[in-house]
Homo-oligomer: A and B are copies of this chain.
């Protein structure tokens, strides 16, 4: 980066600069569906359309901090895993001019998100319908539909592509990372965990192999699922034991390990 062919003084002002923004794909699992937080856009372009929350990067601010700032501004939440997704730069993607946007995604349990969304901000939870599992991102035909209260949603800008990328990333990381736990509260039943997997992958899973695998495997950092001895008695049937993930320090995001 940041070099030119002929020796010259450290002066960068000669180069044209784009506006740089961050868009946040905040995902949750609610009502057995994958949902994304969007907001009604207050101004042109795309006034009134649903878009992802976002903001411009401040000088000397790391992109991850921008993402966290946007998250905090809309929901008040902090200490949520955010992860860089992709940078979008197609000419014309913003009618106002040259804007490059770095997409981040974040995961929040629905119960937490519902209590945190700022009511003054016209925020909406939009259901994502995605075709059944396609493990790879390359060659991914993006068949993602958005529904709000049953009505199809046409988001502004290129935000449908951004959401597609987030779903692809989420699926790709589901079975080797801790992303599933970002969508669950501290304690959960094994069936809660299974429903999260099913909703993200878009297909049903068999109970017995799923349980066995989850109880036997080690997650990143050597962490395992441990029973708490407490039970969920909310159903009218045999109570389900609550589990939690063994404590451990595991970086939430790729970026967090960088200088």
A239 within 8 Å of B by Cβ? Answer: no
Which chain B residue has the least Cβ–Cβ distance from A178? B138
Report Cα–Cα, A145/B90, bound state, in Å.
35
Stretch of A26-34, A59-67, A192-200 on the interface side: A59-67
Chain A residues packing against B (C-beta within 8 Å) = 1-8, 10-12, 15-23, 41-45, 47, 51-64, 84, 86-103, 121, 135-140, 142, 157-159, 161, 165, 173, 176-178, 220-221, 250-255, 257-259
Which chain B residue has the least Cβ–Cβ distance from A24? B1
New A-B pairs, 14, CB < 8 Å, besides A2-B101, A4-B43, A86-B255 = A1-B23, A1-B88, A1-B94, A1-B99, A2-B56, A3-B43, A5-B121, A16-B56, A60-B98, A87-B87, A138-B253, A161-B258, A161-B259, A165-B254
Report Cα–Cα, A173/B45, bound state, in Å.
38
Closest 8 CB pairs of A and B: A1-B101, A1-B21, A17-B17, A1-B23, A7-B43, A1-B54, A10-B96, A63-B89
